[in-house]
Homo-oligomer: A and B are copies of this chain.
Amino acid sequence: MPLDEVVSSGAAAPERGAEPAADLKRMFAAVRARSERLAAALTPEDWMIQSMPDASPVKWNLAHTSWFFETFILRRFVDGYRPFDEAFGYLFNSYYMQVGEMHPRSSRGLISRPSAEDVLAYRRHVTERIESLLESAPEGGEEDILSLVAIGCAHEEQHQELLLTDIKHGLFQNPTAPAVYPEPAPGGQGASQACDGWVEYDGGLAVFGAARGAEAPGAQAFDNEGPRHEAFLQPYALAQRLVTNAAYLAFMEDGGYEDPRWWLSDGWALSRQENWRAPLYWRQDDSGWRAYTLFGERDVDPDAPVSHLSYYEAAAYAEWSGFRLPSEFEWENAARGRAVAGDFLDDDGPYEPRADRRADDDGVSQLYGGVWEWTASPYVAYPGYRAPAGAIGEYNGKFMSSQMVLRGGSCATPVGHVRATYRNFFPPHARWQFSGLRLARDL
């Protein structure tokens, strides 16, 4: 499930935090600028590509995030606001039925007009007017506006990750395997095997999810992260590290893709039909396995976490290994209280998962900044969850079927966007996200 859908549906409306308006202005400016920086490495023609219905063109991602600010803030709170272009309401709506009709998702790649330049002008128009509004919020509406701007920023951050995963999928279709971003220098020295152990956790009742509003002022969370509630865990252990490419290759070489014993029934059927033999983007040549990355095609790094797996592949690997996937509660219990520190250098890259070369540690590692971790938990509402009213929460919970929860955060997730309670979700067949796994076992 594209994060897009989540936020834009309001299903995951983040609680406005304690940021004073000034902080929010800084955040808004930074988020808007980052989207444009990501896109600037690409050509206007790259911005057109839609390589499957699940993915959207860069141009659409850039325009839709502006449409969101325009529709839910400018049109409602700016007297006499004149939309930049009336047609954009139709073209860049993702699916809000209360807001109006929308352009078919699968035809987003045909929108040559408006041009890239038009969309950048649209972005400037919206950015400036939101900034003006933040300078002088109309009385009474201020709280709402600040909250909605915070939501819009989180929404745009999610689209930044989609922009990267969508364009990676799009350019992968080009036989010339183009490089988009410069490859950073390799990280620090040191073996990555140092902390390949297990971390054990007691069972018992614990509290999960994010508090909202009065409960915990200042906390930032999407509404699907709440209500905070108790749940009961059995004792368990988690692998300290993510499953690596080397480990996954062992599964492949052991005939993992040819042995129905390891697979869920639906996954087996799909993998045969689609002829899966390796993670998405992998290709075998005489020299061994190569993978398409945003730096161009590269040798598969045995120490990097395996990525671009579907849930079916992650579950098959876990079954083969003799262990299992963790539940989302087991993951959150382990992540609670640990610092959000990933492999990412900063917000500008590297956009591909890398081997973890840091020194050993006494707890779980690689929680953020490498790959999203598939869990064994289907995506359902927490007890007591109710959708907020109104258009922005029009379809709360509407994606709560046939999706699995992923936890953590990937190399493509903005640094400020990750947290222990965050629930990402996608259907079990999705492979184009930076998605991998960590093993768990019973104690």
Provide the bound-state CA to CA distance between A442 and B386, in Å: 10
Is the Cβ of B115 less than 8 Å from the Cβ of A45?
Answer: yes
Is A377 located at the chain interface by the 8 A CB criterion? yes
Is A79 located at the chain interface by the 8 A CB criterion? no
Is the Cβ of A175 less than 8 Å from the Cβ of B44?
Answer: no
Q: Which of B113, B171, B230, B260 contacts A395 (CB 8 A)?
A: B260
Q: Which of B49, B87, B113, B442 contacts A110 (CB 8 A)?
A: B49
Provide the bound-state CA to CA distance between A206 and B90, in Å: 51
Is the Cβ of A45 less than 8 Å from the Cβ of B46?
Answer: no
Known: A170-B110, A378-B380. A264 touches B400 (CB 8 A): yes
Is the Cβ of A395 less than 8 Å from the Cβ of B173?
Answer: no
Provide the bound-state CA to CA distance between A5 and B45, in Å: 26
A 343-385 binary contact with B (CB < 8 Å = 1; else 0): 0000000000000000000000000000000001110110110
Which of A265, A312, A376 has the most chain B CB within a 10 Å cutoff? A265
Is the Cβ of A175 less than 8 Å from the Cβ of B103?
Answer: yes
Taking CB atoms, residues of chain B closer than 8 Å to A44 are: 44-45
Is the Cβ of B383 less than 8 Å from the Cβ of A234?
Answer: yes
A 255-279 binary contact with B (CB < 8 Å = 1; else 0): 0000011011111100000000000
Is the Cβ of A45 less than 8 Å from the Cβ of B116?
Answer: yes
Is the Cβ of B311 less than 8 Å from the Cβ of A401?
Answer: yes
CB contact list, A385-430 vs B, under 8 A: 394-395, 397-402, 404, 428
Q: Which of B97, B113, B230, B261 contacts A178 (CB 8 A)?
A: B113
How near does chain B come to A353, taking the closest CB pair, in angstroms? 25
Taking CB atoms, residues of chain B closer than 8 Å to A107 are: 173
Is the Cβ of B110 less than 8 Å from the Cβ of A395?
Answer: no
Taking CB atoms, residues of chain B closer than 8 Å to A170 are: 110, 112
Is the Cβ of A265 less than 8 Å from the Cβ of B5?
Answer: yes
Is A436 located at the chain interface by the 8 A CB criterion? no
Taking CB atoms, residues of chain B closer than 8 Å to A90 are: 175
A-B contact pairs, 21 of them (CB 8 A): A5-B265, A43-B115, A44-B44, A44-B45, A45-B45, A45-B115, A45-B116, A107-B173, A109-B109, A110-B170, A113-B174, A113-B176, A205-B205, A229-B234, A261-B394, A261-B395, A264-B400, A265-B395, A265-B401, A376-B381, A402-B428
9 closest cross-chain pairs (CB), A and B: A378-B378, A45-B112, A46-B112, A265-B398, A110-B173, A402-B402, A48-B48, A232-B232, A234-B383
| Given contact pairs A45-B116, A90-B175, a sample of 16 additional A-B residue pairs in the complex whose CB atoms are under 8 Å apart | A5-B265, A43-B113, A44-B45, A45-B45, A45-B112, A48-B48, A49-B112, A109-B109, A112-B170, A113-B178, A234-B384, A261-B395, A264-B398, A265-B395, A378-B378, A378-B380
